[in-house]
Chains A and B, each alone.
Chain A
Amino acid sequence: MCKKIFLGIIFATILISWPISLIKKPAQIEFGTIFYPITDLEKIDFEKKLALDTSGLKRFFYNKTTIYKERYLKNFLVLTDLNNYFFEMHPREDVAGVDYRLKYPFWTIVFLISAIEITVKNKKYLKIWLIILFEIWFLSFFKRIDGLDFILFIPISWLLILGAINLFKWWK
């Protein structure tokens, strides 16, 4: 009974923070993608790099697709950042289009480690990671991901709950 109450409190803590942060500070959802016109700043930086190398090598690394690839990669990495979910993006809160929300209490990161252990050992849980990966891949195409990234709430919370159950399985 004690264990059930204890786990119930933990599940509630896992499930409550992100929705509350959205209620307290609603997200400004936009559906624009990363394929917006190249900004002046991006253009200047890009042209400087092109001018600095006179060999043909630069075109291989710096071409028309580069800026879009960089935008995509930036979003992708923000969405895979552990600190985004557990530490409100601290210590580098320098991403445009992301609000620094308390998504999960920082101590629940322990459950993530436990969740990795259980998903590696039990292949049936691998699908949760695949769902997360697919959603991150998809979300990375958006210019502003705040609010839209709430679609990650279910699979990540699911993982954390699994991790919590796994961590306390010794408790009969």
Chain B
Amino acid sequence: MKTKNWLVLFLILVLAIFLRFWQLGKTPQGFYCDEAALGYNAYSILETGKDEFGKSLPVLFRSFGDFKTPIYVYLLIPIYKIFGVSVWSTRLLSALTGIIGIWFSFWLVKNLSNKINLGLITALLLATSPWSIIFSRTSYETNLAFTFLIISIWSFYKFKENKKFLILTAIMTALAFLTYHSERLIVPLVFLVLFIKEKKIIFDKRNFKTLMMAIVVGFILILPTLNLMTTSGFLSRLNNLKINGFKEFLSLYTAYFSPRYLFGLGDANPRSSYPDLAPFLFWQLPFLITGITWLFKKTRNEEKDFKFLIILLMIISPIPAAMTRDPFYTIRALPLLLPLIILVAIGINKFLESAKQTNKIIFLFIFISLIVWSVGKIYLSVFRFNDYFRGESWEIGAEKMIKNIEGENIPVVVDNSRGEIYSQILFFNKFNPEKYQRDNFEVSNFNYYTDMTRNKTKIINNVTVREIVWKDDILKEQVLVGDELSINEKQIKEHCLEKVFEVKGLDNKILFVGVKTNPELKKIKGDNGCFE
């Protein structure tokens, strides 16, 4: 590769790093309970070798009546060891994998298409993709799994040059399979098809030893999870997400290819999208169409593998997401980003290739202008608007509320009727995992993966996380904490409570209220309350 191309790739990676790392710990402001649960469990493993429920090195992580995949948690451990426990370090893994994903996407496209420019355009589009940015800046397992998937595919095609890559393919596919629920379906389907297609090379006698080694390595990695395949823990996600019939499935599936969703509506989940930003930018639509028309054109021999892979990923990637009720759920359909972005890149590259020299410069100038425009739009949406419009969904006030109750000497009850706030309390306080495990019991180690019973009451020192029971709680001297729906002005007066603190969002909406009970006064005032 020429120095000029290395330089372009370097600049693309710098841009990707800026869009993923700048203010990583600060925006999204707030730290969602799922992120906190991943973080605290990693911290708990680091300190005690056990998760929050006291289970030694779990294969799946029990969490909020569901099970989380384990790889993100285990990879956080060395990060916490080096950088300490913080919002920034928890999201660091996602951001890093975002960059690694771009790097391998470039090599995958370059190797398969034999076009450096196409690889560079793909990398640039991924670097500035809102769909990639959001999951690179937040602690979800999906981005990590997506990166493992990209590396596994890259390594699969490298195997044709060097058979040792088959072992790396096995490791990466196993890791992708173990990292996120969607990949449990996508990985086996994609690789089954790829193996059938390349069976002559894979099952060649000369590759037998390597193939056996790859199978053994992959099998060892996924064996502990396979062992749990029939447990309610493994199947919990599957049981929760059913759809009604083929038509429903097809309508959800088609939505993943519909311009209205890709360029307009985006994901309805406020934590999976940015304000005013769809997964793709509108100017990319004509190039996507150009890319799609290329798919239907007669294929040259050297393009066959490349085209086959794009079609394969396009067909399979949305299947797990379309099997759920949620419409256009970008977390679950993240692998679809790769074939679609490659198609946009192909569209752009076609224009560049077909243009004459003078037009080429003009076209390049327009393309770079569009990228600059996109970065400006992303900047406004990600760094200026998101915290204001989506802050509440990211549980923006939780950290402040936790600081407010930190110094309390009397018991504190935090209402959890609309959330899983205990995970943030544990995370932000770096609460002693051993003590937490001792004071809280939900299930025995033996029934960890099978018994889905929940204990929603959590004891964290003097803080109890549970639903407020008004008739009993006002009779003890304590601080009650909840959102505006749990504790409103009428209740404050009715039960003679004293407001201790209020946490407001950026839009001035009250997110948390802390009130101190006054049992003596309430006894005197009785049912009349303190309305005067």
* CB-contacts of A43-99 with B (<8 A): 48-49, 52-53, 57-58, 60-61, 73-74, 77-78, 80-84, 86-87, 90-92
Q: With A and B bound together, what is the CA distance between A8 and B250 in angstroms?
A: 25
Contact of B260 with A48 in the complex, beta carbons under 8 Å: no
Does A38 lie at the interface of the complex (its beta carbon under 8 Å from any beta carbon of B)? no
The reply to whether A61 and B254 form a contact with Cβ atoms under 8 Å apart is: no
Question: Which residues does chain A contribute within 8 Å of B296, judged by CB atoms?
Answer: 116-117, 120-121
- CB of A91 within 8 A of CB of B252, answer yes
Could you tell me the distance between the alpha carbons of A111 and B419 in the complex, rounded to whole angstroms? 46
Would you call B264 an interface residue if the criterion is a C-beta within 8 Å of the partner chain's C-beta atoms?
yes
**The residue from B259, B263, B292, B327 contacting A91, defined by CB atoms under 8 A apart:** B327
**Chain B residues in 8 Å Cβ range of A48:** 388
Residue from B251, B259, B268, B276 in contact with A80 in the complex, judged by beta carbons closer than 8 Å: B259
State the CA gap A106–B455 with chains docked (Å). Answer: 45
In the assembled complex, B380 has its CB within 8 A of some CB on chain A: yes
List residues of chain B with CB within 8 A of the CB of A86. Answer: 251, 254
Query: What is the CB-to-nearest-CB distance from B261 to chain A, in angstroms, rounded to a whole number?
Result: 8
B293 part of interface (Cβ distance < 8 Å) = yes
Q: Answer whether residue B328 sits at the interface, using C-beta atoms and an 8 A cutoff.
A: yes
Q: Which residues of B contact A81 (CB under 8 A)?
A: 258-261
Write out the residue numbers on chain B whose beta carbons fall within 8 Å of the beta carbon of A109: 250, 254
Closest-by-CB residue of A relative to B250 is A106
Q: Does B282 have its Cβ within 8 Å of any Cβ on chain A?
A: yes
Q: Are A87 and B384 in contact (CB under 8 A)?
A: no
B255: A residues at CB distance < 8 A: 82-83, 91-92
Interface assignment of B4: CB less than 8 Å from any CB of chain A: no
A77→B263 contact, CB < 8 A: yes
A70: min CB distance to chain B, Å: 9
B370 CB, min distance to chain A CBs, angstroms: 13
Contacts known (A91-B251, A91-B255); A77 close to B376, Cβ less than 8 A: no
Q: Mark B14-43, 1 if CB is under 8 A from A, else 0.
A: 000000000000000000000000000000
CB neighbours (8 Å) of B293 from chain A are: 116, 120
A73 and B250 form a contact (CB under 8 A): no
Say whether A82 contacts B388, CB under 8 Å.
no
In the assembly, what is the distance between CA of A57 and CA of B258, in Å?
Answer: 31
Q: Do residues A92 and B380 form an inter-chain contact, with CB atoms below 8 A?
A: no
The reply to whether B376 and A83 contact each other, CB–CB distance below 8 Å, is: no
- Nearest opposing residue in chain B for A109, CB measure: B254
On whether the beta carbons of B251 and A87 are closer than 8 Å, the reply is yes
Within 8 A of B (CB), among A99-155: 106, 109, 116-117, 120-121
* Set A52, A73, A92, A106: member contacting B282, Cβ < 8 A: A73
Q: Which residues of A contact B377 (CB under 8 A)?
A: 61
Q: Is the CB of B260 within 8 A of A78?
A: yes
Contact of B327 among A58, A60, A73, A92 (CB under 8 A): A92
- A53 near B254: Cβ-Cβ < 8 Å: no
| Inter-subunit contact B388/A83 (CB<8 Å) | no
B379 CB-CB contact with A under 8 Å: yes
Q: Which residues of B contact A78 (CB under 8 A)?
A: 260
A84–B297 alpha-carbon span in the complex (Å): 27
B205 at the interface (CB under 8 A from A): no
A-B CB proximity, top 5 nearest: A91-B327, A81-B260, A87-B251, A77-B264, A120-B296
A residues sitting closer than 8 Å to B (CB atoms) are: 48-49, 52-53, 57-58, 60-61, 73-74, 77-78, 80-84, 86-87, 90-92, 106, 109, 116-117, 120-121
Q: Could you pull out 26 A-B pairs where Cβ atoms are within 8 angstroms?
A: A48-B388, A49-B276, A49-B385, A53-B380, A60-B376, A61-B376, A61-B377, A74-B264, A77-B263, A77-B265, A80-B258, A80-B259, A81-B259, A82-B254, A82-B257, A82-B258, A86-B251, A90-B248, A92-B260, A106-B250, A109-B250, A109-B254, A116-B293, A117-B296, A120-B293, A120-B297
